[in-house]
Structure 1
Amino acid sequence: MKNSKEKETFSVLIPDGESWLSYSVQSCLAQIPGVEVIVLSNNTLDPMRFSRHTRQFYSYDQNVDDGQAKLAAIYDTLKRTKVDVVLPIDTQTMRLLSEHKASVQALTAIAPIPDVEAIDIASNKWLLAKWLQEHQLPCPATLLYRADKKFEQALQTLSFPVLLKPTQQVGDVGIGGRGIHIFDHPAALIEFCKDNATVEYVVQPFINGYDIDCSVLCQDGKIEAYTIQKGFMGGRGRFDPPAGIDLLHDDQTYDVINALVAKMNWTGIAHFDLRYDEQDQQVKVIEINARFWGSLLGSLCAGVNFPYVACLAGLGRAIPKTSFRPLRYVNGGAAAKIRYQQCIGKKPAGVYFDHSALDFMMKDPWPKVVSYCFKAYSKAVSKLNGGTRGASLYESKNKI
Structure 2
Amino acid sequence: MKIQQPSVLIPDPCNNPLAYYAIRCLKQANSEFNINVIVSSGQTLDDNEWLYFYKYSAYIDNLVVSANSMNSLEYLDEVIRIIENQGINLIFPASEEGFKFVSKYRYKLSKFCRIVALPSEENLDAAFDKWKLHLLLQKHNIPTPETVLLKEIENISQFNYPVILKPVDGSGGKNIQKFDSLEEENFQAICNYPNDVYIVQKYVPGHDIGCSVLCQDGQVLAYTIQQQLGLTEGFTPKIDKLKFVHDSAVIDIVTKTMNVLKWSGIANLDLRYNSQTGQINVIEINPRFWQSLMGSLSVGVNFPYILYLLSNNISFERISYKEQYYAKFHRFIQDAFNGSLEYSLSDTNVKYFLSDPSGILHFLFYKLMKQKLFQNMKSIFSLQSQKIQNVK
TM interval, short-chain normalised: 0.7 to 0.9
Q: 1:49 deviation in Å?
A: 2.3
In structure 2, distance between residues paired with 1:123 and 1:67: 20
Amino acid at match of 1:55: D
Do the aligned partners of 1:67 and 1:96 also contact (CA within 8 Å) in 2? no
Within 5 A, what are the aligned runs for 1:317-396? 317-331=314-328, 335-339=329-333, 342=336, 346-349=337-340, 352=343, 355-376=347-368
Amino acid at match of 2:303: F
Amino acid at match of 1:58: V
Which residue, 120, 138, 142 being the options, matches 2:147? 142
Matched, 1:277 2:271: no
In structure 1, distance between residues paired with 2:342 and 2:192: 42
1:55 is matched with 61
Q: Alignment partner of 2:81: what SS?
A: helix
Do the aligned partners of 2:150 and 2:191 also contact (CA within 8 Å) in 1? no
In structure 2, distance between residues paired with 1:337 and 1:260: 33
User: 5+ residue gaps in structure 1?
Assistant: 169-173, 388-400
Which residue, 231, 235, 238 being the options, matches 2:234? 238
In structure 2, distance between residues paired with 1:386 and 1:349: 38
In structure 1, distance between residues paired with 2:137 and 2:171: 21
1:166 is matched with 167
Q: 1:386 deviation in Å?
A: 7.3
Q: 1:378 deviation in Å?
A: 5.1
Q: 1:365 deviation in Å?
A: 3.4
Change (3 A) 1:72 1:381: farther
Matched, 1:23 2:20: yes
Change (3 A) 1:337 1:290: closer
Change (3 A) 1:102 1:118: same
The Cα offsets for residues 351-387 of structure 1, whole Å up to 9 and x where unpaired, read as 5455222321111133344344444555566677779
Amino acid at match of 1:101: R
1:255 is matched with 252
The Cα offsets for residues 81-105 of structure 1, whole Å up to 9 and x where unpaired, read as 0021121112222222223222212
In structure 2, distance between residues paired with 1:182 and 1:281: 22
Which residue, 170, 174, 184 being the options, matches 1:178? 174
Q: 1:341 deviation in Å?
A: 6.5
The Cα offsets for residues 218-265 of structure 1, whole Å up to 9 and x where unpaired, read as 111111111111111224x13121221111111111111111111111
In structure 1, distance between residues paired with 2:364 and 2:123: 36
Amino acid at match of 1:223: V
Change (3 A) 1:65 1:107: closer
Q: 1:74 deviation in Å?
A: 1.2
Q: Alignment partner of 2:75: what SS?
A: helix
Amino acid at match of 1:222: Q
Q: 1:17 deviation in Å?
A: 6.0
Q: Alignment partner of 1:292: what SS?
A: coil
Do the aligned partners of 1:95 and 1:116 also contact (CA within 8 Å) in 2? no
Amino acid at match of 1:367: G
Q: Alignment partner of 2:28: what SS?
A: coil
User: 5+ residue gaps in structure 2?
Assistant: 46-50, 380-392
Matched, 1:314 2:320: no
Identical residues among aligned pairs (%): 29
How many residues align? The count is 366
In structure 1, distance between residues paired with 2:308 and 2:193: 42
Amino acid at match of 1:338: F
Do the aligned partners of 1:276 and 1:282 also contact (CA within 8 Å) in 2? yes
Within 5 A, what are the aligned runs for 1:90-101? 90-101=95-106
Do the aligned partners of 1:95 and 1:115 also contact (CA within 8 Å) in 2? no
Do the aligned partners of 1:19 and 1:89 also contact (CA within 8 Å) in 2? no
In structure 1, distance between residues paired with 2:366 and 2:211: 33
1:37 is matched with 35
More off after superposition, 46-55 vs 126-135: 46-55
1:207 is matched with 204
In structure 1, distance between residues paired with 2:341 and 2:370: 38
Do the aligned partners of 2:241 and 2:331 also contact (CA within 8 Å) in 1? no
In structure 2, distance between residues paired with 1:184 and 1:341: 33
Q: 1:280 deviation in Å?
A: 2.1
Q: Alignment partner of 2:61: what SS?
A: strand
In structure 1, distance between residues paired with 2:15 and 2:39: 8
Larger radius of gyration: 2
In structure 2, distance between residues paired with 1:7 and 1:178: 39
TM-score (norm 2): 0.86
Which residue, 104, 107, 111 being the options, matches 2:109? 104
Q: 1:312 deviation in Å?
A: 0.8
Do the aligned partners of 2:208 and 2:272 also contact (CA within 8 Å) in 1? yes
In structure 1, distance between residues paired with 2:248 and 2:3: 38
RMSD across aligned C-alpha pairs, in angstroms?
A: 2.5
